[in-house]
Chains A and B, each alone.
Chain A
Amino acid sequence: MMRKLFSPLATAAALALGASQAAHAESGWSLLNMTQGVTAMSRQIYSLHMLMFWLCVGIAVVVFGVMTYSIFTFRKSRGAVADTTMLHSTTVEIIWTIVPIAILVATAVPAATTLIKTEDLRNSQLTIRVTGFQWGWNYEYLNSGVNFFSRLDRASDAARQLGSGIDVTTVPHYLLNVDKPLVVPVGTKVRLLVTANDVIHSWWVPAFGVKKDAIPGFVNEAWFNIDADKAGLYRGNCAELCGRDHGFMPIVVDARSQQDFQTWLKDEQAAEHPAAANSSAPAAAGSAPAAQ
Chain B
Amino acid sequence: MANNDHAAVAHDHDAHDHKPHGWRRWVYATNHKDIGTMYLVFAGISFFIGGTMAMLIRLELFKPGLQFLDPQFFNSMTTLHALEMIFGAVMPAWTGLANWMIPMQVGAPDMALPRLNNFSFWILPFAFTLLLATLFVPGGAPAGGWTMYPPLMLQGGASFPMTIFAIHMMGISSILGAINVVVTIMNLRAPGMTLLRMPLFVWTWLITAYLLIAVMPVLAGAVTMLLTDHFFGTTFFTAAGGGDPVMFQHIFWFFGHPEVYILILPAFGVVSEIIPTFSRKPLFGYDAMVYATASIAFLSFIVWAHHMFTVGMPLAGQLFFMLSTMLIAIPTGVKVFNWTATMYKGSLSFEPPMLFALSFLFLFTIGGLSGLMLAIVPADYQYQDTYFVVAHFHYVLVPGAVFAIMGAVYYWLPKWTGNMYDQKLAKWHFWLSTIFVNVLFFPQHFLGLAGMPRRIPDYAVQFTDWNQVSSIGGFAFGLSQFLFPYIIWKCVRGGVRVGNRAWEGAHGLEWELPSPPPFHSWTDPPSDAVIQRGAAH
Residues on A facing B (Cβ under 8 Å): 16, 19-20, 23-24, 26-29, 31-35, 44-45, 48-49, 52-53, 55-56, 59-60, 63-64, 66-67, 70-71, 74-77, 80-84, 86-89, 92-93, 96-97, 100-101, 104, 107-108, 111-112, 114-116, 118-119, 159-164, 166-169, 173-176, 194, 198-200, 202, 204, 206, 209-213, 215-218, 220-221, 236-248
Q: Is the CB of B453 within 8 A of A239?
A: yes
Q: Is the CB of B155 within 8 A of A52?
A: no
Q: How far is the CA of A247 from the CA of B315 in the complex (A)?
A: 30
Q: Is the CB of A200 within 8 A of B149?
A: yes
Q: Is the CB of A24 within 8 A of B385?
A: no
Could you show 22 A-B contacts with beta carbons less than 8 Å apart?
A24-B460, A24-B462, A35-B451, A49-B376, A56-B373, A82-B279, A86-B282, A93-B288, A100-B329, A111-B376, A160-B458, A199-B149, A204-B453, A213-B311, A215-B239, A217-B238, A218-B246, A220-B312, A241-B385, A243-B143, A243-B155, A247-B453
Contact residues, B311-360 vs A (CB, 8 A): 311-312, 315, 318-319, 322-323, 326-327, 329-330, 333-334, 336-337, 340-341, 343-349, 358
Contacts of A213 in B (CB 8 A): 310-312
Q: Is the CB of A199 within 8 A of B152?
A: yes
Question: A52-B373, A202-B310 are known contacts. Are A45 and B379 too (CB-CB below 8 A)?
Answer: yes
Q: Is the CB of B369 within 8 A of A56?
A: yes
Question: A82-B281, A101-B330 are known contacts. Are A66 and B344 too (CB-CB below 8 A)?
Answer: yes
Q: Does B191 contact A (CB under 8 A)?
A: no
Q: Is the CB of A217 within 8 A of B65?
A: no
Q: How far is the CA of A5 from the CA of B67 in the complex (A)?
A: 38
Contacts of A247 in B (CB 8 A): 71, 453, 455-459
Q: Which residue on chain B has the smallest CB distance to residue A42? A: B382
Q: Is the CB of A82 within 8 A of B349?
A: no
Further contacts, 19 of them, CB under 8 A, given A63-B365, A169-B64, A200-B151: A19-B450, A20-B451, A28-B461, A35-B450, A55-B372, A66-B344, A76-B280, A82-B279, A83-B346, A84-B280, A88-B284, A104-B327, A169-B461, A175-B64, A176-B460, A206-B382, A212-B312, A243-B152, A247-B458
Q: Which residue on chain B has the smallest CB distance to residue A113? A: B378
Grouping DSSP codes into helix (H, G, I), strand (E, B) and loop, the A interface class, with mixed when no group exceeds half, is: mixed
Contacts of B69 in A (CB 8 A): 162
Residues of B in contact, count (CB < 8 Å): 92
Q: How far is the CA of A175 from the CA of B344 in the complex (A)?
A: 52
Q: Does B425 contact A (CB under 8 A)?
A: no
CB distance from B306 to the nearest CB of A (A): 12
Q: Does B485 contact A (CB under 8 A)?
A: no
CB distance from A100 to the nearest CB of B (A): 5
Q: How far is the CA of A220 from the CA of B457 in the complex (A)?
A: 28
Residues on B facing A (Cβ under 8 Å): 64-67, 69-72, 75, 143-145, 149, 151-152, 155, 238-240, 244-246, 279-282, 284-288, 310-312, 315, 318-319, 322-323, 326-327, 329-330, 333-334, 336-337, 340-341, 343-349, 358, 361-362, 365-366, 369-370, 372-373, 376-379, 381-382, 384-386, 446-447, 449-451, 453, 455-466
